[in-house]
Amino acid sequence: MLIKNFKSLARNRQRKFALQILNAGLEAVLVKNAIRKSIRRDGDMLHIKEMTYKLSSFDKVFVVGFGKASIACAKEIEKILSDHIDDGIVLDVSSAKLKKIKVKKCTHPVLSAGNVRNTKALLSLLKKANKNDLVLCFVSGGGSAILENPAIPLTQYVKMNKTLLKSGAEIHEMNTIRKHMSKLKGGQLALHANKATFVSIILSDVVGDDLSFIASGPTVADKTSTADAKRIIKKYKLPSVKLIETPSKLPPNIHNFLILNNIMAVEAMKHEAEKLGLKAKILSTKETGEARIIGAYLAKQAKKGIALIAAGETTVTVKGHGRGGRNQEVALGALKNINNAVVLSAGTDGIDNTPAAGAVVDKTTLQKSADYKKYLDNNDAFNYLKKTKDLIFTGKTGTNVADIMLVLKI
């Protein structure tokens, strides 16, 4: 059970079922399971999805990674390749000691000078590679803030990123701007590996799984331009910054593979609901929009005996001074139409801009405290849900496929 406070949250049968369904979704997207399904070694042959790489044909094997799933990926690839790894470095939001691969702890969601230093260490490793080497690169959610070498002054980049996070811009819009303020995003990172065979293994936290937007696509040819970034800056009235163009084509030695996304989570949730004797329906795997509005909408869809499942990434336009994350704001927004249903929303990474992964609400939430609107107006979902004891805690899960949501009425 990944939900640490399951017992205290499961205060009635409906909540218990909802939390069991959520837990099934979280467990389905653990990195170790995804890697074991997609990557295997058969003697001298390394199989990554439909491709095979002969290890003895390479002089050296390097491993790099960045994002909230980096440590988990590094642990698994060490098990698979053991003594074949010559050197490696991954950037994550946590620390760990591994056998062959060094781990550098970074900040998230805002870039720091430490992240830039750690990124430069990763780039130094890539520069050791040559055309006879193999580079395995693990890309996961959170990579946009974790991996960076800004093309503009760091203070200016940080200011823009903080403004973006509060603007209500969707992830595709945010990452379009980030690409054009960076020397690494939008396909630029892969060019640092000196024509080595560069294999990027990607875990998606982006709605629709467009590889060029996951962690701002550092290993994927870019389809956006500075003109696109300028339009988004104008749309949200963001500060003007100097922008750079990114490569629209990359050389054939760069290979990209998607191994994990939110579809795997919602399918596992559907299966768990059916095991519990419920009907289940997946509403969407591309849920976007203002978190509080999505929450109210989801609650209104409740139908007796049916588990309604969704996934995606909502946004929060921050106008107040409270504390919370988009999943907590989905839950708080759901109270408007809650009636006899239960609604939950959780980040698969376990850290919804706070130590909580998200929250679960029902009419018992309102019975504990009816003044949720005041907290919603102040973007203070965390403190309201802390008071009502409805926050979901999993700790950092080591994976990230954005958010999963559930509406249940039994």
**Hey, what domains does the chain have and what are their CATH numbers?**
6-29+264-409 (3.40.1480.10), 43-260 (3.40.50.10180)
Alpha carbon separation from 85 to 60, 139, 329 (Å, rounded): 7, 18, 43
* pLDDT for 322: 96
How far apart are alpha carbons 275 and 86 in whole angstroms? 46
How far apart are alpha carbons 9 and 35 in whole angstroms? 31
Please tell me whether the peptide bond between 239 and the residue prior to it is cis, using omega within 30 degrees of 0. Answer: no
Q: What's this model's pTM, rounded to 2 decimal places?
A: 0.88
CA trace torsion 331, 332, 338, 344 (10° rounding): 10
Q: Which two tokens stand for residue 11?
A: 């205060």
Neighbouring residues of 202: CB distance < 8 A, sequence distance ≥ 6: 139, 140, 211, 214, 219, 256, 257, 258, 259
Q: Which two tokens stand for residue 71?
A: 């440590």
By the 8 A CB rule, do 291 and 352 touch? Answer: no
* pLDDT for 82: 86
**At 137, which helix (H) or strand (E)?**
strand 134-139
How far apart are alpha carbons 74 and 299 in whole angstroms? 39
Per-position pLDDT tens, the chain of length 410: 999 999 999 999 999 999 999 999 999 999 999 999 999 999 999 999 999 999 999 999 999 999 999 999 999 999 999 889 999 999 999 999 999 999 999 999 889 999 999 999 999 999 999 999 999 999 999 999 999 999 999 999 999 999 998 999 999 999 999 999 999 999 999 999 999 999 999 999 998 999 999 999 999 999 999 999 999 999 999 999 999 999 999 999 999 999 999 999 999 999 999 999 999 999 999 999 999 999 999 999 999 999 999 999 999 999 999 999 999 999 999 999 999 999 999 999 999 999 999 999 999 999 999 899 999 999 999 999 999 999 999 999 999 999 999 999 99
Q: Which of 283, 259, 131 is nearest to 194 (CA)?
A: 131
Residue 289 per-residue DSSP state: S
* pLDDT for 223: 96
Strands (E), 300-386: 306-312, 342-347, 358-361
Alpha carbon separation from 387 to 66, 299, 331, 338, 365 (Å, rounded): 35, 21, 14, 18, 10
CA count, 13 A, side-chain hemisphere, 272: 23
Strands (E), 295-341: 306-312
Alpha carbon separation from 256 to 52, 209, 261, 374, 397 (Å, rounded): 13, 12, 14, 46, 24
